[in-house]
Amino acid sequence: MTSAMDIRPFQIDIPASELDGLRGRLARVRWPGAMPGVGWDYGIDDDYARALAADWTAFDWPACQARLNALPHFKADVDGTGVHFVHVKGKGPNPAPLILTHGWPSSFYEYVGLIGPLSDPAAHGGDPADAFDVVVASLPGYGFSDVPAAPGMTPRRIAGLWVQLMEGLGYPRFGAHGCDWGSYVTSLIGLDHPDRVIGAHMGAVSLGVRREAREAAPRTAEDAERARARKRWADRERGYSAIQGSKPQTLAYGLNDSPAGLAAWIGEKWHAWSDRTGATPGIPREALLANLSIYWFTNTINSACRIYYESQKSPVVLEPGQKVKAPSGFFLETPPALRDPARAEAAARASAAQRAVAEAAFDVRRWFEAPRGAHFPALETPGLLVDELRAFFRPLR
């Protein structure tokens, strides 16, 4: 670590009174009721919401906190913002520095299970040569990082903060990975700081060319159908993004005051964005409950939602011909409908179109479409993600 950055050890310490207050509120929920038989059609299923609240009431947060505190936590002053992170040195001949970035509605907890396999591969059946110095950071306004005191904490600014953080830790060049907003932040590190990143590995294609360039490109009937399908999905599923991108403060009064409301808002997304087929075990319940607890105890659902507003105010779109110069890799979720062997040909065409978009914007070195799992690979398919991270960064070390 360099002396230029103020870096201090950090421990999670939630008072017992906060846990008592949470459980008291959960015991006094005024449930809204639901029409019989509608399931998830109108939003979160009422039975699911009630079961989630009951599970949260019984959740052993002190035990979870103790497990988390067994990791080396720190807080650093990065350009005036206190950034929380976990930093674990690798065990191997030449560990490569790697920063992992979560998204919404997630937290640093999403990557806790990856720290061991990435930092100490030999202890998890891997090659010590693949070891990483792992940094798992909490986005500003999330978890134990500071809440931004003024507007303007955009993903692009966060990308710059991550470069400063890694330099303060003694890493002038490093690897980066992220999913959801973490994908966007990682792509912007690659765009704005290509000389500082050895490789950018992402869970989504988060940058594209301007609309005029896209519309000028030849379009097949399949392209048009995919566009219509995306619009149908957006019409049904992206209401949360519209309100968080336009009126996050109004939404926050309900979510910040009601743990049942917070659990429903986040729980519905974790349910919708995870793979619920029989091919994968899904997300451990403890992970969802720990994530909810971090949001509640840190009082950060309001500041976390603001990233949508900040991003919409300051979008980043590549000019025609502009590319992310950093070597890039992708670990992509495959829609369940495209996993059907009978649709293999259609899936291949969809994949080819998506890869073409990515290759127009990135120097794509590795492309992996997960055969199972969905939006949270670090929790749903951690083994697959670890294997891909090792494979992507191996030639870039």
pLDDT in tens, 4-21: 799 999 999 999 999 999
CATH of the domain at 261: 3.40.50.1820
- Reported pTM: 0.94
Q: In which band, very low, low, confident or very high, does the pLDDT at 2 lie, cut at 50, 70 and 90?
A: very low
The one-letter code for the residue type at 219 is: R
pLDDT for residue 184 is more than 50:
yes
Any domain includes 39: no
Any domain includes 235: yes
- Asked if 360 and 209 touch (Cβ cutoff 8 Å), the reply is yes
Any domain includes 195: yes
Q: What is the pLDDT of residue 167?
A: 98
β-pair partners for 78: 81
State how many domains the chain has: 1
Q: In which band, very low, low, confident or very high, does the pLDDT at 320 lie, cut at 50, 70 and 90?
A: confident
Q: In which band, very low, low, confident or very high, does the pLDDT at 1 lie, cut at 50, 70 and 90?
A: very low
Q: What is the pLDDT of residue 214?
A: 54
What are the E-state strand segments in 103-249?
Answer: 132-137, 174-178, 197-202
pLDDT for residue 153 is more than 90:
yes
Q: What percent of the chain has pLDDT over 70?
A: 90
Print the SS3 string covering 270-299.
Answer: HHHCCCCCCCCCCCCHHHHHHHHHHHHHHC
Q: In which band, very low, low, confident or very high, does the pLDDT at 225 lie, cut at 50, 70 and 90?
A: low
Least confident of 312-326, 341-355, 357-371: 341-355
Q: What is the pLDDT of residue 345?
A: 72
pLDDT for residue 183 is more than 70:
yes
Euclidean distance between CA atoms 367 and 340, whole angstroms: 20
- What mean pLDDT do residues 86-104 have? 98
Euclidean distance between CA atoms 393 and 385, whole angstroms: 12
Least confident of 45-59, 143-157, 249-263, 334-348: 334-348
DSSP-based three-state secondary structure for 54 = helix
Q: In which band, very low, low, confident or very high, does the pLDDT at 141 lie, cut at 50, 70 and 90?
A: very high
Q: What is the pLDDT of residue 393?
A: 98
Euclidean distance between CA atoms 209 and 201, whole angstroms: 19
Any domain includes 36: no
- What mean pLDDT do residues 97-109 have? 98
Q: In which band, very low, low, confident or very high, does the pLDDT at 25 lie, cut at 50, 70 and 90?
A: very high
Least confident of 179-188, 200-209, 265-274, 295-304: 200-209
Q: What is the pLDDT of residue 186?
A: 98
Who contacts 12 (Cβ-Cβ below 8 Å, separation ≥6)? 65, 68, 69, 73, 144
| Structural element, H or E, at residue 26 | helix 16-27
Q: What is the pLDDT of residue 35?
A: 96
pLDDT for residue 3 is more than 70:
no
- What mean pLDDT do residues 286-291 have? 98
Any domain includes 38: no
Q: What is the pLDDT of residue 37?
A: 95
Any domain includes 370: yes
Q: What is the pLDDT of residue 77?
A: 98
Domain extent at residue 211:
1-31+44-397
- What mean pLDDT do residues 382-387 have? 98
pLDDT in tens, 60-75: 999 999 999 999 999 9
pLDDT for residue 314 is more than 90:
yes
Any domain includes 37: no
Mean confidence (pLDDT) of the chain:
92
